[in-house]
Structure 1
C-alpha cells in the first residue's frame, strides 16, 4: 500500500495560501483523546504557521466523532463569519458494525452541513483498523491528518473567497 511508503502530510508539492484573512473553527472529539489531541495540535499549529490569527480560531470539544456534525452545524449557525470548520476525530474498527454506522453518519453529516451552509466543513476523522494506524496518522510515520485538515481548510476558504 502506498501509505506505507510516505508521509501523507508532505505539502512541498503545493502552494498554501495566506490564512490571515480567514476565521476557522476546529471541533475535536474527546473519544480516543491521545489521537484526537495530536490531531488538534497539528491542525492548530498548521493554521497559525500559515497565517491564521489565533484570535480567529475557535476551538470546541465534543464527546465523540458522531457529535462532530452537530458541532459544525452549531458553529456555523452561531458564527456565520467563519470561513471553514475543521472536524477532527478517530473511529477505530471494533468487533461490531458500530464502526460502519459511525463512519457513514459522520461522513454524510459533515458533507451535508457544508452543503447547507455553502462553507467548507473538513473531514479530519481517522477511520482506522487499529490503534497503531491511528497513531501513525496523528503525528507518526504517516504524518498528521490534523495538518492535512488545516491545509485543506485554508485552501478551501481561499477558493470560496476567490469565486
Structure 2
C-alpha cells in the first residue's frame, strides 16, 4: 500500500483540518483574510471597492460590520439577484451593464448603484416587448444572507489599513 507523497498543504486545505498531518495553526490574519475573500467573491467586487465601502462604513454612526453588509446588500446587482430577476450575481451585473434595467424610470448601467427602499426596478425584455415592475420593499437583514459571514473579522482586517 502506498502513501501520498505530494504537497501536503494542498490536501489539508482541500480536506479541511486533519489532526496529525501538520503542526501549523491558522493565524488570526489568515482567518480574517478568508472572511474578506468570501465577502469579495460572493459580491463580485474588487479589493479597492471593498476598501471604499469599508471607509464609508467606518464613518457611519451604526455598527460598522452591519453597515458594510447593508452597503453590499443594497447594490443594484445584488437587489436584482435577490428579486429573482437573475439567477446569479454575475448575470445580474450583465443585465445592468447591457441596459435592461430602469430604476425609478431612469435607465441605469452601473451595477454598484445604491438602491433604497421604495425604489421601483423595471426590467425590459425585448423578446417579449414588455416591462416587469419590482419594488424594493425592505433591506435584507444579516440573518437572511445566503452564506455565513463574520463581518467583524472583515472590520478587524481593514482596521490595519484605515
TM-score range, shorter chain: under 0.3
Q: Greater share of helix residues, 1 or 2? A: 1
Rg: which structure is higher?
A: 2
Q: TM-score, normalised by structure 1?
A: 0.23
Superposition TM-score, scaled by structure 2 size: 0.24
